[in-house]
Amino acid sequence: MSRMLTALPLLGLLTVAALAEPPRILAGPMFSLTSGEDITLWVQVDQPADLSCTWRAEDDRVVIEQERVAPSVPERNIYVATLSASARRMADTSRWTAELRVTTGTRDEGSAVTVSRSTTMTLRLPVPRGYAGVSGGRRIAFGSCSHQDRFASQPIWTRVLKTRPHQFLFIGDNIYLPGRADSYPDDRDGVLRLYRDTYDQNRQLPELQRLLRSTLCSALWDDHDFGPNNSDRTWKWADVALQTLNEYFPNQYGTPEARGCFHTTRTGAVQTFMLDNRAFRDGNKDPQRRTFLGDVQLAWLKEGLRTSDAPVKLVVAGNQILADTHPHESWGNQFRAERDAFLNWIWNERIEGVIFLSGDRHFAELARKEDPTGRGNTLWELTSSPLANSHYEKGAEIAYPDRVAAYNDGVNFGLVEISGLTRPRTVTLSIIDVRGERVITQQVMGPTNPQP
């Protein structure tokens, strides 16, 4: 059995009208793979309703009924249905159908009338870890900096969809909250409402819906969806940021000792480590600044990389990791000692297959860093930004000796393509613009790995 996810088209939308308007889907359904290897189905509708979901394995060999799913966020009519990893292990297939039914009761002259709307989708889901089977190719798309107010339309989402990704990673600045701390309400209820309003506006973008319905989505935050511009561990509403991230991207985030957005997922040959570069970092203006990730998260990352048997290990952060000369926020600039120690650890431990993905910069960039002692492999980083925001036309003019290529001519997204059934895997990194052109592309792993 394959761990590969193949997204198939939305099969249809069936409406039954009976004297009243049925519930309308505002956003989603969106599918997510959690760190516990469950699959969640997230949907937002326009009125309180009863939601049920039927998950069917291929040939109906396993059928799981979830009736009357309670709203996870009643104030926003958000519902989440979950297909557990243990349930998926019962079926000898990775092809499942999710049938979503949303109903509500109305009254006409004293009689109860039920109106409904149903959506049926078929996805090839990733097989839970530990299940027998080989793994084939995967396409993982990612991007950052999608401002909900910036453009009247956001065609980049349609372009992402055309690459048929098995997974999409929202890697920070997924929404844009106020940039100044004094622009936030003084009370928690007001701040919570602000976060939810901003998420609603972004999540309900028309161009985004087909992508949400056809692939698996995961997210981390950067400063603009964590709090104000350049926010750090001192942000007073960090708990609201985590609550709302979990409301709109359900997952098991962080650890009991460190409450943040970091988590890991495994799909076949690829293990993805999504990092939190805000909740634990010292302030950029703190003269004693020491840490970008915090001790607990850094230890979690090292242990995960050390014990992972995945041929490809994606380490993903909102800020750049390898860059150490850019005059902007990055692990290697603001927290050089901690970053250098981490890279030396990777090289000393001979951790193979590590690739860095990042965003934030408002232009795209491919970089590589060699082990100065010759011990370890070349490390690569692909930065993609923005999805829907202004672009930084002079980004590539900044001196950066590790840069291989750059693109600063408009919106873009990143694509990681993994192919092959045996080691070594072939991995190609690309930046794709709104026209669908590969403006940067580079093979970084494989039997033959040409240098640029």
Reported as a single tens digit per residue, the pLDDT across 69-78 is: 999 999 999 9
CB contact at 8 A, 73 and 88 = no
Using the predicted structure, report yes or no on whether residue 80 has a pLDDT greater than 60. Answer: yes
- Give the least confident one: 256-270, 315-329, 419-433: 419-433
User: For 368-373, what is the mean pLDDT?
Assistant: 94
Reading phi first (left if > 0) and then psi (alpha if -120 to 50, else beta), residue 28 is in left
Q: What percent of the chain clears pLDDT 90, i.e. is strictly above it?
A: 71
Residues 6+ apart with CB under 8 A from 212: 27, 28, 29, 30, 31
Q: How confident is the model at residue 185 (pLDDT cuts 50, 70, 90)?
A: very high
Q: To the nearest whole number, what is the mean pLDDT of the chain? A: 88
Using the predicted structure, report yes or no on whether residue 315 has a pLDDT greater than 50. Answer: yes
Q: Which residue has the higher pLDDT, 153 or 306?
A: 306
pTM score: 0.91
pLDDT at 328: 82
Q: How confident is the model at residue 114 (pLDDT cuts 50, 70, 90)?
A: low
| Nearest C-alpha neighbor of 361 from the set 337, 395, 332 | 395
User: For 360-387, what is the mean pLDDT?
Assistant: 95
CA dist 167 and 353 (Å) reads 19
Read off the pLDDT of residues 128-168 as tens digits, 9 standing for 90 and up. 554 433 445 789 999 999 999 988 889 999 999 999 999 99
- Give the least confident one: 32-36, 170-174, 325-329, 378-382: 325-329
CB contact at 8 A, 266 and 313 = no
pLDDT at 251: 96
CA dist 173 and 360 (Å) reads 7
pLDDT at 137: 73
User: For 54-83, what is the mean pLDDT?
Assistant: 92
User: For 224-246, what is the mean pLDDT?
Assistant: 98
Token pair belonging to 91: 């079926």
Residues 6+ apart with CB under 8 A from 101: 51, 52, 53, 54, 116, 117, 118
Partner residues linked to 143 by β-bridges? 170
CA dist 225 and 202 (Å) reads 11
Domain boundaries, the chain: 12-124, 138-445
Using the predicted structure, report yes or no on whether residue 93 has a pLDDT greater than 50. Answer: yes
Where does 284-425 show beta strands of DSSP type E?
312-316, 354-358, 364-369, 379-383, 403-407, 412-419
Q: How confident is the model at residue 275 (pLDDT cuts 50, 70, 90)?
A: very high
Three-class secondary structure of residue 62 per DSSP: coil
User: For 295-323, what is the mean pLDDT?
Assistant: 97
Q: How confident is the model at residue 327 (pLDDT cuts 50, 70, 90)?
A: confident
User: For 260-283, what is the mean pLDDT?
Assistant: 95
CATH topology classification for 12-124:
Immunoglobulin-like (2.60.40)
Read off the pLDDT of residues 175-184 as tens digits, 9 standing for 90 and up. 999 999 999 9
Look up residue 7 and give its amino acid: A
Q: How confident is the model at residue 61 (pLDDT cuts 50, 70, 90)?
A: confident
Using the predicted structure, report yes or no on whether residue 174 has a pLDDT greater than 50. Answer: yes
User: For 267-284, what is the mean pLDDT?
Assistant: 94
Q: Which CATH number fits domain 138-445: 3.40.50.150, 3.30.300.20, 2.40.50.180, 3.60.21.70?
A: 3.60.21.70
pLDDT at 36: 87
pLDDT at 318: 97
Q: Which of 19-33, 106-120, 160-174 has the highest mean pLDDT?
A: 160-174
pLDDT at 168: 97
